[in-house]
Amino acid sequence: MTSAMLSPVVDTASDVVLSVRDLQVSARSDQGLIPLVEGLSFDLHRGQTLAIAGESGSGKSITSLACMGLLPAPAVRVTGGSIRFGETELTTLPEKKLQEMRGARIAMIFQEPMTALNPVMTIGRQLVEAIRAHEPLSVAQARARALEAVRSVRLSQPEKRLEQYPHELSGGMRQRVMIAMAIALRPDVLIADEPTTALDVTVQREVLDLLRDLQKELGTAIVLITHDMGVVAEMADRVIVMRKGKMVETASTIDLFDAPQEQYTRDLLAAVPRLGAGASRPLHEGRDVLVRYDDVSVNFPIRQGLLSRVAARVHAVEHVSLEIYRGETLSLVGESGCGKSTMAKALVGLVPHTGRIEINGKAFDDLNTAGRKELRRDLQIVFQDPMAALDARMTIGELIREPLVIHGIGTAQEQRARVHELLERVEMSPSVYNRYPHQFSGGQRQRICIARALALKPKLIVCDESVAALDVSIQAKVLDLLRDLQKESGVTYLFISHDMAVVENISDRVAVMYLGQIVEMGTRAQLFGNPQHDYTKRLLAAVPVPDPRRERAPVLRLSGEIPSPVWKVGEEPERVRLVDIGDGHLVAQ
């Protein structure tokens, strides 16, 4: 059952750990102060999970940053109201005192792990530094605590992960590192800003279970900021719905889902994708192959010793063969680190591979520079992390216009008109043309990336978690946009996602990956209606259901350590088998 049904909250003043009253947050501009959050009030009780939901740009993340004292002052600051942690007023607390509280008493899981983690420090060093900043532990003791935290979020090879840098991990792995860092000191209040956005459904389920266990053990209060109403239904005791910086509605989770009072809330719930609700999509007729993977493998060398000889290899993709038909949407699903994004990068020529990949009968390896440039015009990619994909020094207009300039398409006036058209198609105003990426929320930045990918009217678009950062209402509109483009122009999609409801909604066929290998592939109806592989069944059982009254289905769990994709030179990686041993457990062999 959900936490809302198991742990009723007692509304007593002594129970309150975080109290927000009439919060006002404003941004400085040439025209004066622009309100970002207006008149927000709520109480967070010990052991309670309070969800803040709403569209991107509604003020959810700004509220969390205000509570942490991390607003980018003086450009953005608290201009009114109160934020109290127990008896301490945070809005007037000196920075040194705030630093002592952050992490130890109030911790935060940030939305974009790549920008929150230091790229020049190993994961272990960052965790040890955070722990020792608040507790009088030796380096060895802090490292042991860090290792325990990494194990608790179920990262494979935890000792090795401590020695790696953020760029060496997948997006989902980096998010788990952020969660490990946040829970290492067992804070009283945990602010989770889209904590499961980058995670596949099985790891998401495990992380949510982990947060529930922490809450049960320590009475931790959680502020959960999310656009995933399925996660809200499973986790929250109470919900605040925000829009344009204001609170639209607040209620207990069950009351909100049973009888939303405001039209905006009803629209938000109606936009939530649900398994089994996808419209019927017949397979594309003609079966003309646009993309062909033929025995493709991707591995990354691990060098050791004085001479930096290759001692081992990470086998990210192993002997994969598949075809993508012209005009269809093929979805790749699987846990983070399984090789989905590596498959996409190999397709667009960003990582070396063995085997052969053909696009419209042509391979990058067979073409000269001019031929590769022409092929890339027909191939675009929308990356998982929008902040890392956008040049922070360029305006939004320059970023979207850049592909048109590179390929010499249109006059400057025509290019600008095309940018305005693209912004409107992804539900953004052309007035943002001269603004910069850091001035937008995570969901807004992802929409900018999608607009940029559409600029050249490509034949194939790789969508690598392209709607993961979007709230459900904008997500539904973007999915409708992708379908409309496919209907109008016959564009083909390789759609990579961990959201199984979204995958069912948009896919023609689905391929399931595990440890670099395809374990099951079929039409959408086959895979969702009658999955054959135990791992596929596990993925489907882990999907959050947007119904707080519904009991969560049991999820098959992998027993023991996750198999390593690292193999010594000379060793041949074996095909992984997942064996059902009963009692809801799978063993990887």
Kind and range of the H or E run holding 557: strand 557-559
- Which of 492, 418, 489 is closest to 452 using CA atoms? 418
Q: Find the angle CA(237)-CA(240)-CA(242) to the nearest 5 degrees.
A: 160
pLDDT, position 66: 94
CATH topology of domain 3-270: Rossmann fold (3.40.50)
Which conformational region is residue 554 in: left (phi greater than 0), alpha (psi within -120 to 50 degrees), or beta?
A: beta
Q: Which two tokens stand for residue 230?
A: 């399925």
76-85 and 16-29 beta bridge pairing: antiparallel
Q: Is residue 109 within 8 Å of residue 177, measured between CB atoms?
A: no
Sign of the four-CA dihedral 552, 556, 562, 565? negative
Per-residue pLDDT for the chain (589 aa), expressed as one digit of tens each? Answer: 344 433 334 444 568 999 999 999 999 888 888 999 999 999 999 999 999 998 877 899 899 999 999 998 888 999 999 999 988 999 999 988 888 888 889 999 887 777 788 999 999 999 999 999 888 999 999 999 999 989 877 787 899 999 999 988 876 678 788 888 888 888 899 999 888 776 777 777 877 887 888 788 778 899 999 878 888 998 999 999 999 999 999 999 999 999 999 999 998 888 787 776 555 555 555 579 999 999 999 988 877 777 777 777 777 888 899 999 999 999 999 877 788 889 998 998 888 999 999 998 888 888 888 888 888 888 999 887 788 889 989 999 999 999 999 999 999 999 999 999 999 988 889 999 999 998 887 778 888 998 999 899 899 999 988 887 677 777 777 788 888 888 888 899 999 987 888 898 899 999 999 888 898 999 999 999 899 888 888 888 888 878 888 776 665 554 444 455 666 666 655 554 544 444 444 444 4
CA distances from 293 to 209, 381, 515 (A): 37, 17, 17
585-588 and 492-496 beta bridge pairing: unpaired
Q: Is residue 151 within 8 Å of residue 179, measured between CB atoms?
A: no
Q: Is residue 297 within 8 Å of residue 518, measured between CB atoms?
A: no
Give exposure, 502-516, as e/b (b: 16+ Cβ within 10 Å).
Answer: bbbbbbbbbbbbbbb
pLDDT, position 3: 42
Residue 454 C-alpha from the chain's centroid: 21
CA distances from 524 to 220, 504, 521, 556 (A): 40, 6, 9, 22
221-225 and 189-193 beta bridge pairing: parallel
CA distances from 65 to 57, 71, 73 (A): 14, 6, 11
354-359 and 289-304 beta bridge pairing: antiparallel
Length of the chain: 589
Q: Find the angle CA(54)-CA(55)-CA(61) to the nearest 5 degrees.
A: 75
- Which of 467, 16, 55 is closest to 241 using CA atoms? 55
Q: Is the peptide bond before 563 cis (omega within 30 degrees of 0)?
A: no
| Distance between CA atoms of residues 406 and 113, nearest Å | 31
pLDDT, position 580: 47
CA distances from 60 to 52, 241, 325 (A): 6, 9, 40
| Distance between CA atoms of residues 315 and 297, nearest Å | 8
Q: Is residue 485 within 8 Å of residue 454, measured between CB atoms?
A: yes
CB atoms near residue 562 (< 10 Å): 14
Predicted TM-score (pTM) of the model is 0.71
pLDDT, position 48: 94
pLDDT, position 322: 93
SS3 96: helix
- Burial of residue 218 (number of CB atoms within 10 Å: 0-12, 13-18, 19+): middle
Domain segments of the chain: what residues? Answer: 3-270, 386-455
| Distance between CA atoms of residues 519 and 578, nearest Å | 9
HEC assignment per residue over 301-358? EEEECCCCEEEEEEEEEEEEEEEEECCCEEEEECCCCCCHHHHHHHHCCCCCCEEEEE
| Distance between CA atoms of residues 339 and 331, nearest Å | 13
| Distance between CA atoms of residues 174 and 118, nearest Å | 11
